[in-house]
Each structure stands twice: as structure tokens, then as C-alpha cells.
Amino acid sequence: MIRYLFWSIFTLILLFNYSIETKILEDIQHVSAIGYDYVDEDRIKGTAAAPFYPAGIDVQPLNAFFTAVGHTVLDILQKQQMESQRRLATGRLQNFLISKDLAKHGVAELTDPLARSTDIGRDVYMAVVDGSVEELLTFKYPNAPTSAQYLSDFMERNLKDIVPQPTVHAFLDQYGGFAQDPFLPIIGKKDDHIQYKGLALFKDDLYVGELSNKESYVFKLFYEKTKTGTYEIRFKNKKYIATENIRSKVKYKVSGSQDNPRVSVHVSVIGEVKDASSVLMKGNTMKEVEQEWSKETTKRAEKMMRKFQELKIDPLGIGEKVRSHFRNFDKEAWKDRYPTVPVEFYMKVRIVNTGITE
């Protein structure tokens, strides 16, 4: 008897005392992309793209944007909340954008909520916007129902093959870690499309420089193993050959002593020739193309490295490789030494096919 009494009271307590706020899917306005512009020294302008889904079957989402100026991310979110018809929720955030102007003034304050929040995922894509974030987000693009969807597709299905994983996790990790400086892709609006423009380089949380589109390809090649990427080689007689990377591997070798380390980067690429109009691809020519490809790339890489060392930044994570090589590593000394450390690049290319014609 007591047993039944207990379980009935138990059920009643459960039913009448639950205090959790529901977050019913369709009663929430899902912020899909969020971006920040620079206003002045201590104010930023936030734009949230939260597509609105009208009721009914087979309906297209409507573009919906909320813009507000404030001091912190949460302050802005609160102000945006006052405009939206439903509760704004960031649990399904896909893209996090920062304008270049803002990046020059530091992004630490913006990314802290990303690290702290339990509802924002770790695989949100981040990018730096060349120009106004608001403009990029609020533009009505002809090739997608909403700008947020275009952006998500662009970042998730396209950009991730071009640049090394630009996710929140990667950024926070690089930013917090000693051994590497963060980098983010730069995107911008070009006419009525979004365009990838290059790679923004950060020193701690400050934007300090950028790599061009073509350099960023080389960067990816020397940063991690890749499976994609088309590269154009200037061959003799001003002829151009387009090559495609089938797969590549990169290996860092550290030698010397801690006071005098030497780093060499070895990349081996297996590629194919995609476009070689008026160049006959045969034995010797292939060799030449391979050499030309490797020579051009290493030259670019060396130039890129010089730039890094001048800026005293380390997006390639050479510091981490060196640290893992030496015992009792002196981090402070490394910071001073980094600009003078010799880094050599080697690239081995093997062209395995030339398409289905010779």
C-alpha cells in the first residue's frame, strides 16, 4: 500500500514540479550565421541571420536579419532579441563572421562566448569578411533562398576543401595554444556572390596580414595532407599547364640543437595534368612539368615563410613541431628565435596521369 502511495506521489511531484523551459523546435528562431562589424573603439555591430520558416508545406524560408550595436556579443544578442518575433537561439549556429576591421582590433572578446557556451557547437565555421559583414549577410543572393543557406553551403561544402578546417575548435585551439597562430579564411562579396579571397593571419587574436588565394593553396599543401586543389604552372614559352593534386603528404623534420634548430618541410604530391593545351605530355616533358611544379611551389612557400617570420607569426605550427622535438623546451627563447630559424621546403611531385589524352 505504502509502495503504491509512494509511487503515485512520486509521479505527481514529477508532473507538477518540473521547471525546465522547453525549447520547442519551431518556436525558436534559429540563428544560422552571425557576424560582427567594427563601429568604434568599444562598440561593435552584430548581424544575425536567422531565416524564418513560414507555416505550411513546401515553403521557402524567408530571409530575416537582426542588427544591433553593442559592447559585447551577449549585449548585442539581447538587443537583437528585442526585434525578433521568436526567441533567438544559437544552438544551430553554422557560421561566425568577423569583419577585417574588427579583426585588426582583436577578436578575443568575440570568441570567448563561443568557447564557453554549451549550446554553440565546436564545428561552427569561422571566417573573416573583407568589407562589411552586414552587407554580406543581408544581401539577397540569386543562387540560394537565403543568404545564410548560401553561406553555410559555401563554407561547409566548398571552403573546407580549400583551406584547413576553419572551425571554432581549430581557431580556439590555435589561439590558446603556444605553438601556433590562428588563421581564418577571408571571404567577401563580389557582385552578387560570395567569394573566397585568401587567408587572414592572426597574431594572438589580432589580424596582422593575409595570404592571397594562390598562396593559401600552397599554405594548405604545406600545412596538412590534402586531396584537392588545382594549380597552374607557368611553363616555358609562356604556356600554362593546370595540374591537379590527387593526394599529398607533408612531413616536418627538425634537426640541430635547441639553440640552433633547423626545420625542413617535405611535401610529396601525387598529381595529374588537367589542362595542357599545346604541350605534348611525354616522358621528358612530364619530368619537366614535375620539376617546374615543385620549383614554383617551393619558391612560393619560401616567400610565404619569410612573410611569416617577418610578422613573427607561426600559422604553420613550426613551434609545435620544434617543441615536440626537444626536451625541456624553452618557450620564451623560441619566441625570440623564431624569425631567424631556417626553414627549408622540399617538394616531390609525381604525375601519375594526364587525363585520357596524351
In the list 1, 5, 19, 357, the residue contacting another protein (rule: CB under 8 A) is: 19
Location of C-alpha cell 623564431? 338
Cα 137 from Cα 147, distance rounded (Å): 6
Least distance CB 234 / another protein (angstroms) = 35
Least distance CB 35 / another protein (angstroms) = 18
Using CB under 8 A, which of the segments 14-22, 227-235, 239-247, 277-285 binds another protein? 14-22
User: Residue 20 interacts with another protein (CB under 8 A)?
Assistant: yes
Cα 207 from Cα 201, distance rounded (Å): 6
Per-residue binder mask for another protein (CB under 8 A), 103-142, x = binder? ------------x--xx-xxx-------------------
User: Residue 152 interacts with another protein (CB under 8 A)?
Assistant: yes
Who contacts 106 (Cβ-Cβ below 8 Å, separation ≥6)? 204, 205, 206
Cα 286 from Cα 279, distance rounded (Å): 10
User: Residue 355 interacts with another protein (CB under 8 A)?
Assistant: no
Least distance CB 51 / another protein (angstroms) = 8
Residues 180-219 that bind another protein (CB under 8 A): 180
Least distance CB 101 / another protein (angstroms) = 27
User: Residue 16 interacts with another protein (CB under 8 A)?
Assistant: no
Q: How many distinct helices (H) and strands (E) make up the chain?
A: 12, 14
3-class secondary structure, 296: helix
User: Residue 173 interacts with another protein (CB under 8 A)?
Assistant: yes
Least distance CB 117 / another protein (angstroms) = 10
Residue 208 sits at φ, ψ, to 5 deg, of -125, -15
User: Between 61 and 106, whose beta carbon lies closer to another protein?
Assistant: 61
What DSSP string runs through 86-108? SEEE-TT--EEEEEHHHHHT--H
Using CB under 8 A, which of the segments 55-63, 225-233, 283-291, 336-344 binds another protein? 55-63
Cα 120 from Cα 137, distance rounded (Å): 20
Q: What are 46's strand-pairing partners?
A: 36, 68
User: Residue 57 interacts with another protein (CB under 8 A)?
Assistant: yes
Q: How many CB atoms lie within 10 A of CB 143?
A: 11
In the list 39, 89, 144, 206, the residue contacting another protein (rule: CB under 8 A) is: 89
User: Residue 14 interacts with another protein (CB under 8 A)?
Assistant: yes
User: Residue 177 interacts with another protein (CB under 8 A)?
Assistant: yes
Cα 265 from Cα 152, distance rounded (Å): 34
User: Residue 17 interacts with another protein (CB under 8 A)?
Assistant: yes
Location of C-alpha cell 587525363? 355
In the list 5, 40, 41, 54, the residue contacting another protein (rule: CB under 8 A) is: 54
Residues 265-324 that bind another protein (CB under 8 A): 317, 320-321, 323-324
Residue type at 85 in one-letter notation: Q
Residue ranges of E strands in the chain: 28-30, 33-40, 43-49, 65-70, 87-89, 95-99, 125-130, 183-190, 193-203, 206-212, 230-235, 239-256, 261-275, 343-353
Using CB under 8 A, which of the segments 25-33, 133-141, 264-272, 275-283 binds another protein? 25-33
User: Between 165 and 213, whose beta carbon lies closer to another protein?
Assistant: 165
User: Residue 328 interacts with another protein (CB under 8 A)?
Assistant: yes
**What is the separation of C-alpha 92 from the centre of its chain, rounded to a whole number of angstroms?**
18
Cα 259 from Cα 36, distance rounded (Å): 43
Using CB under 8 A, which of the segments 21-29, 129-137, 207-215, 284-292 binds another protein? 21-29
Binding site for another protein (CB under 8 A): 10, 13-15, 17-26, 28, 30, 51, 53-59, 61, 89, 91-92, 94, 115, 118-119, 121-123, 152, 156, 165, 169-170, 172-174, 176-180, 317, 320-321, 323-329
